[in-house]
A and B are shown apart, each in its own frame.
Chain A
Amino acid sequence: MSLLSVSRNPLKGLKPVRIQFVWNHAIRLSSGTFGTDNMDAGEEFRQLELKPTRTREKFQRKKAPVHMIMPRDYKRANKIDPDNVDWKSIWPGPRTFDPNAIPIPVRQGRLKPKQRAFGKTANLELMKIPTFFHLTPPAIKAHCEELKKFCTPFPSELDTKEKCEKHFPLTVITNDYLHAAPTIRDPLARIVTIKLKLKDIPLDEHARDKLMRIIKDRYDEKTDTLTIVTDRCPLRKQNYDYAQYLLTAIFYESWTVEEWEASKTEADMEHYVWNRNTSSKALASILNWTPDKLGKSIFHDPLPEDKLKPEHHAYGKAVKNIVEGETEEGWSQYKKAAVQVLLRQ
């Protein structure tokens, strides 16, 4: 069967291209000129295309007609008179930008060279950013007028800032949040911050040092303020009580002197105290020196306060300067002081 079909139609499996090729070839052979006449005429040499490529026609997509759906009241802005309007009734609360409610020309957008920024209508850039059209000065004024009936007058005796600080040294800061939401609770409302200036609580040198170690970075040196923030309890009342407890605890703790505090060494000192250091002992040893002390332990106790002369104080000050950060000036000062102490004048 298959043999039969082959004999009947021998060109059945070939593609038309193949036929064309064979046909062309046959014509060339029969004409005997083999394409020379065509080449001489300046025609392009035709290429053999085994897989003919489709010629691409440029087709132009037709522009779809724009059907801009305008809002019903899109001409509202034209009707608003900016001078005589109750603005807070038009824009009562925070809201996305609405071009139809804004009676002024607004433009926003990235400018290309020699091109105007986009207008307010359908301008996505304007809709992205928050606006404060609801917080105009008259609106705020009206809000305050409404809230006034809930307030009490500020005590007239506290007319200066100093008096306020003197009578109310402790500042308690809390935040209230109001939302138009199903719940009126806000977790941030529980946080309590208390602030206190350290000059308002009695502290001696030791207590102050210990307090500093306890409160660490909660102390601001510039304003002399201690700040405690409590937020670990779920309710504000609890956090407030906890802050009060903390303040009380650190105050009494800083006044307590433990037994082990006597073993505080020089490395634990927060600042250099000359009269406690080897420098002052060395000076005392030099001043009390006699030739028979050769090779013996030379470091005595520091000089008692009443025996220190002005030049010794100057020397101590220079040493303190050096130890707390050496500079060229510090060294020249130290040199002057050392010459005063060590050499015959």
Chain B
Amino acid sequence: MALRILHGEFLSHHVGVMHHLLTPERLLSSVAARPALSTLIDGNISSANETSPPKILSPFRTGESDPQNHSESQLGRHYTIPEDIKQTIFKHGGLPKKFDELTHVFTETSIMVRKPFLEIKDYVKKIDFNRPAVRFVLYGETGQGKSMTLAHVVHYGFNAGFLLVHVPWVNSFMRKSKDISPSESKPGMLDVPINAAAWLVHFRAQNQHLLQKLDFKTSKSYQYGPRDTIDAGAPIEELIEFGVGRAKYACDVVEDLLREVKSASNSGLFKTMVVIDGFNGLFSPFMKTLRMKKKVIHQRCTLALPFLEISRFDWCNGVVVLSVDKHAHTDPFNAESALPLYLLGKEGWEHLDPFIPINVEEYNTAETNSALDYYIDRRWIQHPGAQSESGRAELRAMCGGNGLELLKLCAPL
């Protein structure tokens, strides 16, 4: 029934432009590439014809949902992350908040294929994995797509079989931690147990499939409390499970886990992709808790140490993709520049150098047009004035190529 409706709509809607659109590269390769569509049709949901993408792909879309196959020809087009993969890798964060809200409205998670991602992909292919880990640093003004590029990279890493070490936003524990307590293992430093446990859950969710397959075991025994011991040779899930259950030791567990990850990648067990958003937040001098409602001036938070450690170059079989952000800066509202050296500071620069900087630039005209087409397609823009050529030109000029700005501008239309 739904299929017939879909078919009917397809005919009535596209019959005039069918000759123009029916080119082989625009046709969806198979139903299997779009599991969401098939389930909707099978599930006999009457609203399927409104929300599911049309069979013939519009020029702003690409059917290629595997980032490994993205290339120059898909530049500026939107690809859709399959729902099950999204649930695996972005369930506990990783997509910008504004965009994550929209994915519910759009009933799909589509990301535009952009140049920074393709650059990183090409560079990752050129990496000699027997050499020290290569660091990439994304930089650019707020709202130009650093976090979206990172989300794209995470999906790429997931599909390419990397073990993911992904921190969705550093300042969630450096600036706005849920809870703090003095560290027992490192006197004078502060633990953020709840955030550490939450991160372990995130890590476990992203890498469950790999951990089940791999023979990844602890290399030595760990003693946390008098009765809390992890033996050498225990599966690594046990360590994670312990950290999640005993939040008190979660920061120490994260440190030990990442040390294990590092040495295991070094020995060639697997390849690791480290993705950290707002990396310069790790060098900010203080952390603030919500519950205590006051700033805690402190040099280091214990959870920052393992992520600093894993972003060094003293290991191999690893790729490190970081972003520096004005919002993660010590004084986020007065950050003068979006360039890496200013944001990282001297300490951060000496920690990272040498790295490969990737500039996330503003949308060019084609990309803005593609985004507008997508919003019109998703009914995010419904106003007929905004859909006209002059309205689009106005929106293009007003957003200045900034994706976040465009999103905000289109919200009331």
Contact = CB atoms under 8 A, between A and B. Distances in A.
B111 to A, nearest CB: 23
Given A326-B342, A339-B123, A343-B123, A289 B314 contact: yes
Interface stretch (B5-13, B124-132, B295-303): B124-132
Given A278-B353, A283-B354, A291 B316 contact: yes
Contacts of A332: 359
A338 B354 contact: yes
A323 B139 CA distance: 17
B376 to A, nearest CB: 33
B375 interface: no
A322 B346 CA distance: 12
Interface string B44-67: 000000000000000000000000
B353 A294 contact: no
Interface in B244-298: 259, 262-263, 266-267
Given A278-B350, A331-B340, A335-B356, A291 B266 contact: yes
Given A322-B341, A326-B339, A343-B127, A338 B314 contact: no
Given A294-B315, A298-B314, A331-B339, A343 B354 contact: no
Given A294-B315, A298-B314, A328 B359 contact: yes
B363 interface: no
A298 B353 CA distance: 13
B313 interface: yes
Main secondary structure, interface of B, reads: mixed
Contacts of A214: none
A282 interface: yes
Given A331-B339, A331-B359, A344 B127 contact: yes
B313 A285 contact: yes
Interface size class of A (residues with CB under 8 A): 20 to 34
A315 B354 contact: yes
Contact of A289 (B132, B339, B354, B357): B132
B118 interface: no
Given A343-B123, A343-B126, A294 B356 contact: no
B115 to A, nearest CB: 13
A338 B357 contact: yes
The A contact surface, by secondary structure, is: helix
B313 A331 contact: no
A19 B177 CA distance: 100
Contact of B266 (A294, A315, A326): A294
B367 to A, nearest CB: 19
Which of A294, A323, A339 counts the most chain B CB atoms within 10 A?
Answer: A294
Interface in A307-345: 315, 319, 322-323, 326-328, 331-332, 334-335, 338-339, 341-345
Contacts of B126: 343-345
Nearest to A339: B356
A294 B318 CA distance: 13
A282 B339 contact: no
Contacts of A293: 314
Interface in A257-311: 278-279, 282-283, 285-286, 289, 291, 293-296, 298
A298 B312 contact: yes
A282 B341 CA distance: 16
A286 B356 contact: no
A345 B259 CA distance: 30
Contacts of A278: 350, 353
Given A278-B350, A335-B356, A286 B123 contact: no
Contact of A344 (B128, B132, B337, B339): B128
Nearest to A283: B354
B190 interface: no
A236 B263 CA distance: 77
Given A289-B132, A342-B356, A294 B127 contact: no
B202 to A, nearest CB: 25
B342 A286 contact: no
Nearest to B263: A294
| Nearest 9 A/B pairs, CB to CB | A343-B126, A326-B341, A278-B350, A344-B128, A298-B314, A326-B339, A289-B132, A294-B266, A338-B356
22 contacts: A279-B354, A282-B354, A283-B354, A285-B313, A286-B131, A289-B131, A291-B267, A291-B316, A295-B259, A296-B314, A298-B313, A326-B341, A326-B342, A327-B339, A331-B139, A335-B356, A342-B354, A342-B356, A343-B123, A343-B134, A344-B127, A344-B128
Interface of A: 278-279, 282-283, 285-286, 289, 291, 293-296, 298, 315, 319, 322-323, 326-328, 331-332, 334-335, 338-339, 341-345
Interface of B: 123, 126-128, 130-132, 134, 139, 259, 262-263, 266-267, 312-316, 337, 339-342, 350, 353-359
Given A328-B339, A338-B356, 9 more contacts: A279-B350, A289-B132, A294-B314, A295-B263, A319-B354, A327-B339, A341-B354, A343-B128, A344-B126
